[in-house]
């Protein structure tokens, strides 16, 4: 089917570093569309100049995206073709565009993906960590308490964990990974597809040492990948799951002995251990 169809929003992936990664289809469409909606028009202008084209541009970023929906919907309704691009990589992946795509699809407009570079997929493909299942969390919270809370909530996930991180927070993030996730294998990918592309591999503490020894390794944007938790044995429950069940039973007035028996039946493990834990929880609640 030809791409020359009126009234289309093309979601166009652009290079994350190496300009040769722009697909021929993406390059052609950027030269054919009526408008390019760009996260930063100054940044995108450099790419367009490299291609030798100068289509009209409109800014679309996190602060004005909702306000742009009606304007772009009207242009599509008039039969125009619009390309949505972010500063680098695939739009919507930790970049603006979700609100626009959601609203246009709800209005019956045609949205066409033009695939290409994506930092998280690029990093995973060369990291040597399991890729059959992974959890992408985008950027972790900037504040330390919230960041540690997010990591602790992910501590028992068995999939590879993937985050984006900025250079000025990478050391703090590694410290929190060490504190929340322990000695797991971590792979840092930085400056992907660029001249100084680097993959650093080791525990979070080891990588903190590498960054301290060579401050240049803390420059650039990062993809942080962490090995998932080891699989649990069948019937083995996490401490959080067990405590949740025991507290619920105790709150409903179930005795410590009965609560231990129910927990053993549902989650497995030693009844004596669950009895001791239930008693500790009960004593703590009554202090």
Domain with 112 in it: what CATH number? 3.40.1010.10
Which DSSP state fits 117?
A: -
Residue positions counted in the chain: 287
Q: How many helices (H) and strands (E) does the chain have?
A: 11, 10
Tell me the residue range of the domain where 249 lies. 239-286
State the CATH number of the domain containing residue 139: 3.30.950.10
* pLDDT for the residue 83: 98
Which residues, including other chains, have CB under 8 Å from residue 125's CB and lie 6 or more apart? Answer: 131
* pLDDT for the residue 5: 52
Based on the fold, state whether residues 166 and 79 are members of the same structural domain. Answer: no
Q: Is 86:8 a contact under the CB 8 Å cutoff?
A: no
Last residue of a domain, one of 84, 117, 150: 117
Which residues, including other chains, have CB under 8 Å from residue 286's CB and lie 6 or more apart? Answer: none
Regions in the chain scoring below 50 on pLDDT? 1-4, 234, 286-287
pTM for the predicted model, two decimal places: 0.79
Based on the fold, state whether residues 12 and 113 are members of the same structural domain. Answer: yes
Considering the domain boundaries, does residue 234 fall inside one?
A: no
In angstroms, rounded to a whole number, what is the distance separating the alpha carbons of residues 89 and 57?
A: 18
* pLDDT for the residue 286: 47
Based on the fold, state whether residues 146 and 159 are members of the same structural domain. Answer: yes
* pLDDT for the residue 1: 40
CA 2 to chain centroid = 33
Considering the domain boundaries, does residue 232 fall inside one?
A: no
Which DSSP state fits 80?
A: -
Based on the fold, state whether residues 124 and 215 are members of the same structural domain. Answer: yes
* pLDDT for the residue 185: 97
* pLDDT for the residue 170: 97
pLDDT digits (tens, 9 = 90+) for 33-48: 999 999 999 999 999 9
Based on the fold, state whether residues 88 and 130 are members of the same structural domain. Answer: no
In angstroms, rounded to a whole number, what is the distance separating the alpha carbons of residues 270 and 260?
A: 9
Based on the fold, state whether residues 137 and 163 are members of the same structural domain. Answer: yes
Pairing of strands 57-59, 222-226: unpaired
Number of domains the chain is built from:
3
Neighbours of 132 (CB within 10 A): 6
Considering the domain boundaries, does residue 219 fall inside one?
A: yes
Considering the domain boundaries, does residue 231 fall inside one?
A: no
């Amino acid at each position: 089917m030809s791409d020359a169809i009126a009234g289309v929003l093309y979601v166009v992936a652009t290079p994350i570093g190496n300009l040769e990664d722009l697909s021929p289809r993406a390059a052609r469409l950027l030269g054919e569309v009526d408008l390019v909606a760009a996260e930063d028009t100054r940044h995108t202008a450099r790419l367009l100049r490299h291609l030798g084209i100068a289509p009209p541009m409109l800014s679309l970023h996190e602060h004005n995206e909702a306000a742009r929906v009606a304007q772009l919907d009207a242009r599509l309704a008039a039969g125009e073709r619009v390309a949505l691009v972010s500063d680098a990589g695939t739009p919507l992946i930790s970049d603006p565009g979700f609100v626009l795509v959601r609203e246009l699809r709800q209005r019956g407009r045609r949205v066409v993906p033009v695939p290409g570079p994506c930092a998280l997929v690029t990093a995973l493909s060369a990291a040597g960590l399991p890729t059959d299942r992974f959890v992408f969390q985008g950027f972790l919270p900037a504040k330390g308490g919230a960041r540690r809370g997010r990591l602790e909530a992910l501590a028992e996930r068995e999939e590879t964990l993937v985050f984006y991180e900025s250079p000025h927070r990478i050391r703090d993030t590694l410290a929190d990974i060490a504190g929340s996730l322990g000695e797991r294998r971590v792979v840092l990918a930085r400056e992907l597809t660029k001249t100084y592309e680097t993959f650093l591999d080791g525990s979070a503490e080891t990588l903190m040492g590498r960054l301290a020894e060579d401050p240049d390794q803390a420059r650039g944007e990062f993809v942080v990948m962490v090995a998932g938790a080891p699989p649990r044995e069948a019937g083995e429950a996490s401490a959080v799951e067990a405590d949740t069940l025991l507290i619920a039973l105790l709150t409903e007035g179930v005795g410590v002995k009965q609560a231990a028996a129910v927990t053993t039946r549902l989650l497995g493990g030693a009844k004596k251990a669950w009895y001791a834990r239930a008693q500790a929880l009960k004593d703590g609640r009554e202090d």
